[in-house]
């Protein structure tokens, strides 16, 4: 069987399964990235505006999550979560092992790692917003919420786009690790295909190509977004 027949959409082809797996990779990465955006925003806010204790707590979070392996975080959430869930169910009178959902555990794990990186990006972007803008907003009597919504958030997002592009690529690649807890995304599907056809090289190369495709297309998208967001900024 030729390569294109094997990876095609015919009766013996793996095309449809790999396409579904690619959608799963996109879904889990986007979910993780969104979790990271919310949590990362809160962390950045805690470090910029929170009291000393909150600031130190947020800083510790970032240091810890950037210092331990991503695989360990996924294991911790999946197996740790399962053991917590099992004991809760036992307490409720339901014996037997209860596993957490691989998608949820994986998305949360990659999301909380992404949050650590995203908080640094947002913090840097906040530093790039001209101080005069904030003073001017205060001077015209804007409330804190209004100032955040109209002045800070749009400009922070604008300056954060290049950094967020990098963090997104990280999340996309980390999503491959969720295959170890059994989520059928690209890498897991490639492993299944490799096992049943005994052509591991062909399947893993295809997986690599799919990741390259995703990272190239999204990198191009981020470049477009950056160009659009920066169109009003004068540059040397």
Partner 1 sequence: MDLVFLADTFVTLLGGVPLLLQLTAISVSVGAVLAVLLALMRLSGNPLLDYPARGYVFVFRGTPLLVQIFLIYYGLGQFPEIRQSVAWPFLRQPYWCAMLALTLNTTAYATEIIRGGILSVPFGQIEAARACGMSRLLIFRRIILPQGLRTALPAYGNEIILMTRATALASVITLMEVTGIASKLVSETFRAIEVFACAGAIYLIINFLISRAIALAERRLSPQLAAPPAAPEPAR
Q: Should residue 56 be labelled a site residue for partner 1 when binding is judged by CB under 8 A?
A: no
Residue with tokens 């911790």: 76
Q: How many CB atoms lie within 10 A of CB 76?
A: 13
Q: Which is nearer to partner 1, 208 or 228 (CB)?
A: 208
How far, in Å, are 123, 135, 184 from residue 7 at the CA level? 44, 59, 17
Site for partner 1 in 63-102 (CB under 8 A): 63-64, 66-72, 75-76, 79-80, 82-84
Q: Which stretch binds partner 1 (CB under 8 A): 45-53, 132-140, 173-181, 225-233?
A: 173-181
The nearest distance, CB 201 to partner 1, in angstroms, is 4
Size of the site for partner 1 (CB under 8 A): 41
CA-to-CA dists, residue 34 to 40, 98, 205, angstroms? 9, 27, 29
CA dist 190 → 21, 102, 112 (Å): 9, 17, 26
Binding range to partner 1, per CB under 8 A, among 48-56, 62-70, 148-156, 223-231: 62-70
Reference 111, options 48, 13, 33; nearest CA is: 33
- Phi/psi for 9 (5° steps) reads -105, 15
Distance, CA of 112 to CA of 105 (rounded, Å): 11
Cα 192 from Cα 203, distance rounded (Å): 9
Site string for partner 1, 125-164 (x = CB under 8 A): ----------------------------------------
Which part of the chain contacts partner 1 (CB under 8 A), choosing from 122-130, 148-156, 177-185, 228-236?
A: 177-185
Q: Which of the residues 189 through 218 are near partner 1 (CB under 8 A)?
A: 190-191, 194, 198-202, 204-205, 207-208, 211-212, 215-216
Taking alpha carbons only, the member of 174, 51, 154, 56 closest to residue 112 is: 174
Instruction: State which of residues 18, 44, 161, 177 lies at the interface with partner 1 (CB under 8 A).
Output: 177
Which residue in the set 6, 28, 181, 187 belongs to the binding site for partner 1 (CB under 8 A)? 187
Q: Could you give the CA distance from residue 142 to residue 151 in angstroms, rounded to a whole number?
A: 10
At its nearest, how many Å lie between partner 1 and the CB of residue 76? 4
Binding site for partner 1 (CB under 8 A): 63-64, 66-72, 75-76, 79-80, 82-84, 169, 173-177, 179-180, 187, 190-191, 194, 198-202, 204-205, 207-208, 211-212, 215-216
């Amino acid at each position: 069987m030729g390569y294109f027949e094997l990876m095609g959409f015919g009766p013996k082809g793996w095309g449809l399964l790999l396409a579904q797996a690619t959608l799963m990779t996109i879904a889990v990465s986007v979910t993780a990235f969104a979790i990271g955006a919310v949590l990362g925003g809160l962390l950045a806010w805690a470090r910029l505006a929170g009291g000393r204790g909150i600031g130190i707590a947020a800083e510790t979070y970032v240091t810890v999550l950037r210092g331990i392996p991503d695989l360990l975080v996924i294991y911790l959430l999946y197996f740790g979560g399962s053991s917590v869930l099992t004991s809760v169910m036992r307490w409720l009178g339901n014996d037997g092992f209860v596993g957490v959902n691989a998608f949820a555990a994986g998305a949360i794990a990659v999301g909380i790692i992404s949050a650590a990186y995203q908080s640094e990006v947002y913090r840097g972007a906040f530093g790039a917003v001209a101080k005069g803008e904030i003073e001017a907003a205060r001077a015209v009597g804007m409330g804190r919420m209004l100032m955040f919504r109209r002045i800070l958030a749009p400009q922070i997002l604008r300056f954060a786009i290049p950094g967020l592009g990098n963090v997104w690529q990280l999340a996309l690649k980390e999503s491959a690790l969720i295959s170890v807890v059994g989520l059928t995304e690209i890498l897991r599907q490639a492993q299944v295909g490799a096992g049943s056809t005994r052509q591991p090289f062909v399947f893993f190369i295809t997986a690599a190509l799919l990741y390259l495709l995703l990272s190239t297309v999204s990198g191009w998208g981020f470049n477009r977004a950056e160009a659009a967001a920066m169109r009003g900024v004068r540059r040397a």
